[in-house]
Amino acid sequence: MAKYQLGSGLVANKERIIVYAQNTYFDLLTVLQDAGLRVAVSLGDSAVPTSLLGIMQKWSYWQEKLPGVVDYWFAQRGQDGKRAELRGEEIRWLPPLRYRWGIRRARNFRIAF
C-alpha cells in the first residue's frame, strides 16, 4: 500500500483534488476516469467525488479505496497516466479544509496516510 497525501488546489484556474505519492503529484479526478481502475478498485458510478470536501464527507469509503487507486495508478499509468501528472509549480494550493466529524476536527491541507 502506497503512502500518499491528499489536498486541493487550482491548476490552470480549475479546482483539482491532488494526490501526492512517490514524489509525484496527480489529479485524482483525471485518474478516476480510467475505466480499468474503476473496475479494479470496485468504484461505483456515483463514487467520483467533486471536491475534497466530498471525499471527507464519505471518508470511511475513500479511506478504503484511495490506497488501491494510488497503487493501481502507479502500476498501470503508462502514457495515459502522464496526463494526470502535475508539476508542483503549476499547483496553487487552496487553504486548509476544516471538516468536523464526530468529536474530532481535521485540518486538511495535505493529509498524509
How do residues 52-98 score in pLDDT, each as one tens digit? 988 988 899 999 999 999 999 888 876 555 778 999 999 999 887 65
Give the start-to-end residue ranges of the domains of the chain: 5-112
Instruction: Give the residue with greater pLDDT, 46 vs 73.
Output: 73
Count helices and strands (H / E) in the chain. Answer: 5, 8
Cβ(84)–Cβ(77) under 8 Å? yes
Give the global pTM.
0.78
Q: Please give the biggest Cα pair distance in the chain.
A: 44
- Is it the case that residue 14 has pLDDT exceeding 90? yes
Identify the pLDDT of residue 102: 45
Cβ(6)–Cβ(19) under 8 Å? yes
**Distance in angstroms (rounded) separating the CA atoms of residues 43 and 38:** 5
- Would you state the cell numbers that stand for residue 19, as one nine-digit string? 494526490
